[in-house]
Amino acid sequence: MTRSDDESDSSSNPEIEGLVDLEEDRRWEDIEPDDELVCVTSLFDEARFPDVHSMLQYCKEKYEFDLVQIGKNFDLGYLEFVKLVNYIRNEVKKGNKIFSIPSKRVFEDDQYLLPILADDALLFSLDEVTSTPANPSQDIIDNETEGRGLLEDSTCERLTELHNELDRVKQQFGAYREAVDKTLECRWSNQDSGPGLSEGNAQQLETADRLVKDESHYFTSYSYNEIHETMLKDTVRTDAYRDFIYDNKNLFKGKIVLDVGCGTGILSMFCAKAGAARVIAVDNSDIIDKAREIVFDNGLGDIITCLRGKIEEVSLPVPRVDIIVSEWMGYCLLYEAMLDSVLWARDRYLKPEGLMVPSHITLFVAPFADPDYITDHVAFWRSVYGFKMDSMLAQIHDDVLIRDVKLEHIPGSAHSFFALDLYSITTDRLSFTAIPFTVELEESIDSLDGFVIWFDTFFLPSREAVQSLESDTRAQKWAKSGGIAFTTGPAGQPTHWRQGVLLIDHGKAGSQQLEKGQTIEGTIDYKKREENQRALDIKLDWKVKGCSYGGTQTWCMR
C-alpha cells in the first residue's frame, strides 16, 4: 500500500482510521475465524479439535510431539512459530514423518510463511500457544455463566488484559499477512518474468533482492543485546531523553505517545513513568519480543503496547498521537536513514500541535590534524618490513572513519552546516548538495589531514521555544542555560556515535603547511547510496582561501 493510498483511505473516516482496515479485512475475511467455532486440525493426521490446546495435547499423547516445548527450546518469535507449523504441515503432506525438529534452520525459509492448510485455525491461535495460559477466555465465560450480573474488578482487569492481548494478536497477525503478501508478490513477480527475463528486469529484481536483504540485515543487527547495551550505557544519550521526559511530566501526562523504533522499550517506559496515558512502542527487529517482556516485567503492560513491524507498515490502534519520541540518529547523523521513518510517522500520525522528541539537530564540520594518526595508520602502509603496501590505503580514504577525536586534533573553528527542525524537515532534504561551510584555523599546522563531522541534539518543550534557538547554538551552551541537549562532538563527553573522520588523500590532494588565521571554504554533499538507501556518501569540496591548495573527495558509510 502506498502512503497516498493509505492517507486517502483514512481521511474518509478519521474516527476509525488506524483501528481497522476494512478493505484489508475483506480480503482476508474468508480465513479469519471471527466468532465462528474454531476447528483446529491435528499436525499429523486429519483429527480436528474445538481448540488449540486439545489438539496440542493430542499430538503430545499420540505422537510424543510437544510443539510448545519446541517453541520454548528454540525461543521462537511469532513468525518463526508460523514457519514451524507450516513446515511441519508441509512435511506431513509430503508423507514424511516428523519425530523432532533438529534445528531452527530446517524451517527458516520464508516459503514457510505461506499457509499449507487453508483456514489453518492453529495459525490464528498461535499467540495463545506461545504466551497465555490455557484458554483464558474460559475463565470469563465461567464467571459470567455462574450468574454474576456485574463484572468484578478482577474480571474487568482480565477483560482489559484480554483486549490488549487481542490487540497484540491482531498486530502480529497483520505482520503475518504482510509477510505472506510479500512472499507471494515476490513469487509472482519471479514467475511473471519467467525464463525470458529481460536484462533490465533481472537487474531490477536483483536490486530489489539486495534492498530486501539490506533491510533484513539492518533489522537483524538490532536484534542482538550488544547494540542495545551500548546505546543504553551511552549515558549522554539516554540521560538526555530521560531528563527531558521526567523534567516535562506536564507535557506527557495523559498523552498518547508513539515510540518509533522502541528497541528495549526504554524511552516508552520513561514516557509511561512520566504519566503518559498510552504509549505505542513499535520496532521491526526481534528485540520487540524482549521489549514486550520488559514492559510486562515492569508492570507497564497496561500503558505500553508493543507492536512488531515497520512503522510504515503496522497499523496503530489509534488514529493520531500527541507525541513522537524516537532515537533515530546514526553516525554522522543520517547514516541508517532511520529519520525517513520517523518523518513518515510524523506526517501520518502526529497531531497538528503534537511534539517531536528530540526536536532539533545541528550538524557540524571542523578541520582535523593528527600527525601521529597519519604516521601510525597511513604512512605505516608505505613501508612494512621494507615492502610497499599502499594498496592497503584504499579504504582509509574511501570510508568515513568513526573515531573519538581529541579536541587537540581540531585545529580550527567548527561550522554548523545543516540544521534540522524535526517539525518541518522533509525526507527529500535529507540528501543535499553544495551546502557551504567556512572554518578558520586557530593554530598553524604542518598538514590538513581531514575533516570531522558531528551533531548536536536539542529537546525543546514546545514548537514556540525554537525561537530562542539560533542555527549555530551549541548543545553545551544550551544545556548550561537549563535546556536539555547533548553534543556528539569532540568537546563533549564521548558518546557511542563518536565522530565521523574524513581523511584527506594526501597522495591525490598533496599536503601543505597552513598558518593560524587562514580559512578553509568549501561545500558538503550528503547522498544516499542508490543500491542501499541506508548507506551514505559524503562529499567535500574544499579550498584554502588565498592559495591554490584544495581538493574534492567522497567518503562512504556502507
Contact 122, 42 (CB under 8 A): no
In the complex, the smallest distance separating the C-beta of residue 37 from ligand SAH, rounded to whole angstroms, is 36
The answer to whether residue 540 forms part of the interface with ligand SAH (CB under 6 A) is no
Q: Which three cell numbers stand for residue 120?
A: 489453518
First-to-last C-alpha distance (Å) of the chain:
29
In the complex, the smallest distance separating the C-beta of residue 344 from ligand SAH, rounded to whole angstroms, is 8
Q: Annotated catalytic, 128? A: no
The answer to whether the bond into 358 is cis (omega within 30° of 0) is yes
Contact 524, 552 (CB under 8 A): no
Q: Going residue by residue from 176 to 215, which x/- string records binding to ligand SAH, judged by CB under 6 A?
A: ----------------------------------------
Part in contact with ligand SAH (CB under 6 A); list of ranges 97-105, 260-268, 375-383, 460-468: 260-268
Contact 487, 474 (CB under 8 A): yes
| Cα–Cα distance list, 491 to 133, 179, 334, 407, 487 (Å) | 54, 46, 21, 6, 8
Contacts 24+ apart (CB under 8 A), 373-380: 373/409, 373/449, 374/447, 374/449, 378/503, 378/506
CB closer to ligand SAH, 247 vs 313: 313
As a whole number of Å, the CA-based R_g of the chain is 28
227-246 residues in contact with ligand SAH (CB under 6 A) are: 231-232
Binder among 71, 263, 489, 490 for ligand SAH (CB under 6 A)? 263
Part in contact with ligand SAH (CB under 6 A); list of ranges 196-204, 244-252, 281-289, 406-414: 281-289
Binder among 177, 182, 310, 351 for ligand SAH (CB under 6 A)? 310
Binder among 283, 289, 449, 456 for ligand SAH (CB under 6 A)? 283
Q: Annotated catalytic, 91? A: no
Part in contact with ligand SAH (CB under 6 A); list of ranges 99-107, 283-291, 453-461, 479-487: 283-291
Distance CA 499, CA 490 (A): 7
Contact 237, 496 (CB under 8 A): yes
Part in contact with ligand SAH (CB under 6 A); list of ranges 154-162, 179-187, 258-266, 544-552: 258-266
Place of cell 605505516: 380
Contact 252, 278 (CB under 8 A): no
Longest dimension (CA), the chain: 93
The answer to whether residue 535 forms part of the interface with ligand SAH (CB under 6 A) is no
In the complex, the smallest distance separating the C-beta of residue 282 from ligand SAH, rounded to whole angstroms, is 5
Part in contact with ligand SAH (CB under 6 A); list of ranges 93-101, 129-137, 257-265, 470-478: 257-265
311-370 residues in contact with ligand SAH (CB under 6 A) are: 311-312, 327, 338, 341
In a 10 Å sphere around its CB, with 0-12 CB exposed, 13-18 middle and 19+ buried, how is residue 543 labelled?
middle
3-state secondary structure 96-156: CCCCCCCCHHHHCCHHHHCCCCCCCHHHHCHHHHHHCCCCHHHHHHHHHHCCCCCCCHHHH
Helix (H) or strand (E) holding 517: none
The answer to whether residue 422 forms part of the interface with ligand SAH (CB under 6 A) is no
Catalytic one of 7, 336, 464, 530 = 336
CB closer to ligand SAH, 284 vs 532: 284
Residue closest to ligand SAH, measured at CB? 261
CB closer to ligand SAH, 17 vs 283: 283
Binder among 86, 171, 172, 284 for ligand SAH (CB under 6 A)? 284
Kindly list the residues in this chain that would bind ligand SAH in the complex (CB under 6 A). 219, 222, 231-232, 261-264, 266-267, 282-285, 287, 310-312, 327, 338, 341
Catalytic site positions: 327, 336
